[in-house]
A and B are shown apart, each in its own frame.
Chain A
């Protein structure tokens, strides 16, 4: 089966600034694909170009086999979208909104079905203005499903929600996958990306800097194991830096403590133990933590200036 989304060399410029610089990725049927990146990285712009809210300056965009720019009507018939925040009229009710949006499509789901699926039955006839943030976001998801879409695109779906509402929404997105739906979501929450996504594209400053499953990305970053050390006396920065495979050394918060990353933990720790013994220092605390997605993310998205500061 062909990819649900194909993005090739997407470029978009605003007022002289290139917000998206040659982004490429593909989303396969049935997977949850995440665009992960810091704020302003170009995730939302990429998504908005795909759903027709913005016109790309260059690049090839295909959704469900249709060209986004020449066949927008066919694309819109097949996708469901939930934006970061969905605004509707204050006086509209969820039931009315689902009925109205359903009328815009060739095929549609019954409002009652969607109300039940997204736990909105109790609020079916409440005015939009009276809904909580979580209820509004569930309604946004329900609206995304009103046309039985082949592909659902979610732009930072849990931003601004409390932990309870976020958990509920994670459950709803996982259910989409179980139902066989393809999902493309943007997020800057690492744990959300790690929990929900089958594959990720990490975007930074308008470019894709890594693509793969969360596990593969972490495995690739295994060389970034983090060591935290507290000794009985002051540590010598120059000698620690000279240890094999040490990177990103930081002394602090006291002169007795240091953190660093290493590609080969065993080799580095053996040399470290020898160094401490030679200096007559005792090890008060020593931890070695495997790389997380956060490490991968930070490693890939840190600005040169930030890296220098860490060093």
Chain B
């Protein structure tokens, strides 16, 4: 144990003396975080929806590049050859190296979390569970790092092999590109990459139901980690003169990657390929009618960026009479109590209408011919679309917003034109003052209500996959509609 303790302590000390290691270990994850912050700057809670991805990137970088680079460079120098002359057992070297790397990765993750909090992110919903899943993620990727170290004869080979794992995991493995944005075949492929389970598991602890929503992810990470650690230990090489090609026991690579196949197979068998359901990603919220006051914002909405809460007694204007009694008859809708001050107090820092997020075509811009039919189809069907026409009118308004939000979340070419269709439909249906109040309420309570992610009845095929994105975009469109309704934006 003394050998393990000393080697662990020394590995950490040497890491903190190595500027390049610090750069790769700490600065790169932070740069990634800042890039995500800038990319998704219009999200209501900065970075909250992306912590799974960001932490996974930090672990991947530390374990799949940092760990094998250190191991192989020391082996190339002859450090391990010198260790081999001593009675230190192989497992002590591997365990202490892996523990040191875990500590490095953990501090990188904490730094990321700290910066995210400083940028306005709210605390993860399940901090302890987050640590647990983070540890499993680190275990899985450290196992992979050990395999890479065994495979690579030189440091450049580590870089090449690392990229072969890192880039596919980032692009089609669900780590940097949301699964919902990927074609179906890529979603199937992603099930075979441990990165997907790391992102899902971590995100479940940040915004979801914690460990309860990450059971399969933990199983997947454990399997891949165990296989990697065992294969990495069996293929461990002390001496750079002993090349991988000439080494016996190469079959140990089979279980390492067989674990990935097994996990993907189980996921396919259990039908876990589709992107996570609403209940797994977002905390369950009560319908607006059950919300005690409009000020009761969602648990994970940040104080710094959420719209200003409505005052406890905002009823300066008398509630208008209910014109359309609806079953069950509400005593008085809460949104009716909102005032112009509540509307004025909203945060109107919005992405531009001509941008990528929540675009809104000008009134005089006609869609191209190939989209015109689609836009006209939605315009025709919208009055009879049950979710937007039947039942509680607040719910109808929220559902209509999704008609603009879903194509935006999917990034369909038609996304610029549908907000106008929805906006016109709302103006035609609801009195201006009531519409302002309802949109204000929705902007104050963006997490309330169920998300509609499928509007194929209107001729718009595809789903965004991630309901939180759809909520986000609906929130942005509610504000954009309010700007027009209150005359802040003239058309």
Closest to B17 in A: A91
- Judge if B285 is at the interface, Cβ distance under 8 Å: no
Question: Are B87 and A73 in contact, with the CB atoms below 8 A?
Answer: yes
Contact between chains at A104 and B88 (CB < 8 Å): yes
| Chain B residues within 8 Å of A92, by CB | 10, 14
Closest to B77 in A: A87
In the complex, the answer to whether B87 meets A105 with C-beta atoms within 8 Å is yes
* Complex Cα gap A258–B83 (Å): 54
Are A89 and B84 closer than 8 Å at their CB atoms?
no
State whether the Cβ of A250 lies closer than 8 Å to any Cβ in chain B.
no
Interchain CB contact under 8 A, B82 and A100: no
Does B247 reach chain A (CB closer than 8 Å)? Answer: no
List, in ascending order, chain A residues with CB within 8 A of B85's CB: 51-53, 76, 81, 83
Q: Is the CB of B239 within 8 A of A53?
A: yes
Residue tally, chain A, CB below 8 Å to B: 24
> Which of A76, A88, A96 is close to B86, meaning CB atoms less than 8 Å apart?
A76
Nearest neighbor of B4 in chain A, beta-carbon distance = A103
Q: B1-25: contact bitstring with A at CB < 8 Å (1 yes, 0 no)?
A: 0110111001001100110000000
Contacts of A96 in B (CB 8 A): 10, 13
A86 within 8 A of B: yes
Q: Out of A73, A83, A99, name the residue touching B82 (CB < 8 Å).
A: A83
Instruction: Return B30 CB to nearest CB of chain A, in Å.
Output: 23
Quick check: A103 and B6 within 8 Å, CB to CB?
yes
Q: Which residues of B contact A89 (CB under 8 A)?
A: 14, 74, 77, 79
Kindly state whether residue A77 has any CB partner on chain B within 8 Å.
yes
A49-87 Cβ-contact flags toward B at 8 Å (1 or 0): 001110000000000000000000100110001010111
A25, CB-defined interface residue at 8 Å:
no
Partner of A99, one of B6, B81, B87, B88: B6
Complex: A77 Cα to B3 Cα, angstroms: 14
Task: Tell me which residues from 81 to 101 in chain B have a Cβ below 8 Å from any Cβ of chain A.
Answer: 81-88
Q: Does A101 contact B (CB under 8 A)?
A: yes
Contact of B3 with A103 in the complex, beta carbons under 8 Å = yes
B383 close to chain A: CB less than 8 A: no
Interface contact A105-B84, CB-CB below 8 Å: no
Contact A103:B79 (CB < 8 A) given known A73-B87, A76-B85, A96-B10: no
Q: Which residues of B contact A105 (CB under 8 A)?
A: 86-87
Q: Chain A residues near B13 (CB, 8 Å)? A: 96
B87/A88 in contact, CB under 8 A = no
Given contacts A76-B86, A89-B79, 8 further A-B contacts (CB under 8 A): A51-B85, A83-B81, A83-B82, A83-B85, A86-B78, A89-B74, A89-B77, A100-B7
A sample of 30 cross-chain residue pairs with beta-carbon separation below 8 angstroms, ordered by A number, consists of A52-B84, A52-B85, A53-B84, A73-B87, A76-B87, A81-B85, A83-B78, A83-B81, A83-B82, A83-B85, A85-B78, A87-B77, A87-B79, A87-B82, A89-B14, A89-B74, A91-B17, A92-B10, A92-B14, A96-B13, A103-B3, A103-B5, A103-B7, A104-B3, A104-B87, A104-B88, A105-B86, A105-B87, A127-B17, A143-B82
By a beta-carbon cutoff of 8 Å, the part of chain A in contact with chain B is 51-53, 73, 76-77, 81, 83, 85-89, 91-92, 96, 99-101, 103-105, 127, 143
